[in-house]
Amino acid sequence: MRFTGAVLIVVILAMGVVGCGSPHRLQALASNREPSVSVRLSRERITASVTSIRPERAVPAPVHLSQLKRSNTWDNLHFSSDLTGYRWGFMDGNFNMQRTTDGGRRWLDLSLPAAYSSALESRGPNPTPFVEVADGASIYVLTNDSKQFTVLQADDSGRHWRVHKFALPRSEFALESVTMVRGGVGWAIFRDAAAGTSHDLVRFQTRAPKMQIQHVAPGSRDAGLVGTTQATVKFRDERCGWIVAVAADGKLHDYLTSDGGATWHARTIPAPSGLTHFMCVRAYKPVMHEQEGTFVARYLGTDAGHAVVRTVVYHTNDGGTHLQATVAQTLDDATSDYMGHPVHWLDSDSGYAIRDGRLTVTNDSGRLWHNVPSPALETALPRYPRVLAIQFLSQTEGFVHLQSRDYAHTVLLKTVDGGTTWDRMCE
């Protein structure tokens, strides 16, 4: 058994942003810069200029990472059960975390052993710090600064923390993706912020602190990810992992391991029929469960002279040996968090997203989608159009975290019936 498959949805991120808009328009969502990009498509050398495209006042509204850091609102959350959850964000310029034990009605501050200001440079479109909740009680806060990789670890729901520091071989590294499994074992992908298309992959552990560089291509100087501009890593356990990467030429690649990263199987994933002249621009972290897996990717191309985004869901039920690709246009304008991930996956089959101001759901790995009539949610979205997070814990229990258009207010909603009705937990 190699590892569980993943669904890849490639979502166009102009300038490292997430998109939502009409089928023939490209919208920039989560970016620290103005949404302007010129993309040269492969082979046909088609240049799609989208500099005139600006975010429209639509639902869901665009979210900008730099503005989030200044908004004094909690922009991230993760629930490990229907009662226990964590939220984090920058308050008065400093990174803070809180925990709830009553489903989000009341929150208590967590005392971190390190301070991070909103000026902390992420050198990319990803948030800094990264937060991983490996199980209900184990929390990790991960950052890198210059040649040091720092991991804060708490195994008691954030009451007591340990600090682990690892030396990095170069100072140009920017943390791009991280995945944690039980026992304090993790993998991180670092991007060379100067080169842009060079990455390193490290395996680290905190129980007996150690870090080692791994190579998906034997003998490579870096990770060996074929001139990759963006990559994401997911491990199901200490042995089975999957890297999905976008190369500078717009091709999509994946790398599979079943021995903890000692050896990898690499391949190029062809674009689905109808998208052969499109360019892959973003890949999202896979979801893995036993032999099944799902991941999403977004492709950019042109249609009738317009720049368009197409979202593709990749699914496997044999550990990744074979992938089934579904072009899910329902997700072209959808989002599930402020970074523009098109869908939140409960497992490799069931996914949730917000599109056109409504909750849309799949239970067959993205092949079919249906809207869930949700009067309370649909009433809240015009007032809180920025989707900060969606998380479902089961087919019935889930949370949606929304923000007002001016970044000033948030609201947390909870459902226990699959999204038909929602209760307001806190603002």
Query: Is 391's pLDDT higher than 50?
Result: yes
Domain count, the chain: 1
Amino acid at 136: G
pLDDT tens digits for range 231-283: 999 999 999 999 999 999 999 999 999 999 999 999 999 999 999 999 999 99
Structural domain of 213? 6-426
Q: Among residues 76, 12, 78, which one has the least CA distance to residue 50? A: 12
Q: What is the mean pLDDT of residues 145-153?
A: 90
CATH of the domain at 214: 2.130.10.120
- Note whether residue 266 is domain-resident: yes
Residue 384 lies inside a defined structural domain of this protein = yes
Higher pLDDT, 417 or 32: 417
Q: What is the dihedral of CA 238, 169, 173, 206, to 10 degrees?
A: 30
Average pLDDT estimate for 166-178? 88
* Domain annotation covers residue 420: yes
Residue at 133 is within a domain: yes
For the cut 90, the answer to whether the pLDDT of residue 136 exceeds it is no
- Domain membership flag for residue 176: yes
Contacts of residue 59, Cβ cutoff 8 Å, sequence gap at least 6? 354, 356, 357, 381, 382, 385
- The model's pLDDT over 67-88, given as tens digits with 9 standing for 90+, comes to 888 888 898 999 999 999 999 9
For the cut 90, the answer to whether the pLDDT of residue 180 exceeds it is: yes
Please tell me which residue, 264 or 127, carries the higher pLDDT value.
264
Residue 119 lies in a domain: yes
**pLDDT number for residue 27:** 33
Distance CA 364, CA 182 (A): 28
Q: Round the average pLDDT of the chain to a whole number and report it.
A: 83
By three-state DSSP, how is residue 376 classified? Answer: helix
In a domain, 205, yes or no: yes
Whether the Cβ atoms of residue 96 and residue 89 lie closer than 8 Å to each other? yes
Residue 1 in domain: no
In this prediction, residue 395 carries a pLDDT of 95
